[in-house]
Amino acid sequence: MKPLQELTRPNIWQLKPYSSARDEYKGATASVFLDANENPYNTPHNRYPDPMQWELKKELSRIKKISPDRIFLGNGSDEAIDLVFRAFCEPRIDNVVAIDPTYGMYQVCAEVNDVEYRKVLLDEEFQFSTDKLLAASDAHTKLIFLCSPNNPTGNDLLRSEIEKLLREFDGLVILDEAYNDFSEAPSFLEELDKYPNLIILQTFSKAWGCAAIRLGMAFASPDIIGILSKIKYPYNVNLLTQKQAVETLHRYYEIEHWVKTLKEERENMEKEFAKLPCTVHLFPSNANFFLARMTDAVNIYSYLVSEGIIVRNRHFVSLCGNCLRVTVGTHIENEKLIEALKKYPIDKHI
Ligand SMILES: *Cc1c(COP(=O)(O)O)cnc(C)c1O
């Protein structure tokens, strides 16, 4: 890996962050707070939240077995994705490389930040090749994006290939593990010590059932976390979110139960899908959704909408012609989808 200073935009490296009232006084003993122009009434919502979210990080640190100085928390993983562009990529000069197809936010953030986004097609099994990613990169490639299990394909990326990329790429590797809870593949969290160029993304939005509270996590070396923390909005994670997240972490057993149920439901749905006349191929999944190639995805999508059922049409995505991405829901929701598809008039387009 290149030295972090060389990978960071010079203005960001030199930046002295905004120092909020809560940054300047961190003690716990004061009882009169007249430093932040807050309203003294309407507790607890009158006070600015902890800008570094220490209580929440302490809880996470216990569950993820990683020290708090390796954790960044943001307004969804989307905030962390945007921040890595802003921290490391000089607009119009630097570029990033990503697998294709994958999660759309990487490209959107690249475009917002005016950073070239280079796509490298996966193979027919939706696996990537480190050699191909490196061949697409040059001296200005700061970041390479991977997502495992990948969205929208649903499969785990090969661990040996991820390790090879981490060893051979001299920039930063962003590994999005939004769906890792559903996979048998171990998280790369335990490998953080080994790979200083690794940034892992996880989220409260999927297995943890908290998409509404907007909380995403990034795990990396303390130096990288320091840079992200320095450029985030001072109070980027609000009080309600911090409280709700701590409460959710106390109910960890419940999340494990959800994950087990959703995996069973996915297997059941895959069996049912395989029997449908309108299914052409089912791609194996390690997530809480699966990708299915259909006889004609566009028409089936519209038919399902008319039945009040919404899935994701991925027909226009690379390698996903005629594919629908189906999220696993409750047993009743899943049955409704299957029943509707059984009724789909296979040879008569609507
Ligand atoms: C859903 C999803 C996320 C989560 O984003 P949040 O902003 O945390 O809700 C991140 N990455 C991928 C690949 C996803 O599919």
List of residues 6+ apart from 138 with CB closer than 8 A: 95
- Provide the CATH number for the domain formed by 4-251 in this structure: 3.40.640.10
Q: Which atom of ligand 1 is nearest to the CA of 204?
A: 8
Q: Are the C-beta atoms of 253 and 259 separated by less than 8 Å?
A: no
Q: Which atom of ligand 1 is nearest to the CA of 79?
A: 7
Question: In the prediction, which pLDDT does 348 show?
Answer: 52
* 287 alpha carbon – ligand 1 mean position (Å): 12
Residue owning the nearest CA to atom 2 of ligand 1: 178
Query: 205: Cβ below 6 Å to ligand 1?
Result: yes
Looking at the chain, the domain(s) classified CATH 3.90.1150.10 span 254-343
Average pLDDT of the chain is: 96
E strands, the chain, are 71-74, 95-100, 116-121, 141-147, 172-176, 198-203, 216-219, 279-282, 289-294, 312-313, 323-327
Question: In the prediction, which pLDDT does 327 show?
Answer: 98
Residue owning the nearest CA to atom 12 of ligand 1: 178
* 77 alpha carbon – ligand 1 mean position (Å): 6
CA distance 2 to 245: 35
Looking at the chain, the domain(s) classified CATH 3.40.640.10 span 4-251
Q: List the one residue out of 231, 233, 236, 221 whose CA is nearest residue 14.
A: 231
Question: In the prediction, which pLDDT does 25 show?
Answer: 79
Q: What is the pLDDT of residues 131-153, one digit of tens each?
A: 999 999 999 999 999 999 999 99
User: Percent of the chain at pLDDT above 90?
Assistant: 93
| Cα angle 221-132-137, degrees, rounded to a multiple of 5 | 60
Q: Pick 254-343's CATH classification: 3.30.300.10, 3.90.1150.10, 3.30.470.20, 3.40.50.1820.
A: 3.90.1150.10
Question: In the prediction, which pLDDT does 22 show?
Answer: 78
Q: Are the C-beta atoms of 236 and 74 separated by less than 8 Å?
A: yes
Q: What is the pLDDT of residues 72-119, one digit of tens each?
A: 999 999 999 999 999 999 999 999 999 999 999 999 999 999 999 999
Q: Which atom of ligand 1 is nearest to the CA of 211?
A: 9
Query: 285: Cβ below 6 Å to ligand 1?
Result: no
For the chain, list residues with pLDDT below 50. Answer: 350
Quickly count: other Cβ atoms within 10 Å of residue 188's Cβ: 22
pTM for the model stands at 0.96
Question: In the prediction, which pLDDT does 347 show?
Answer: 65
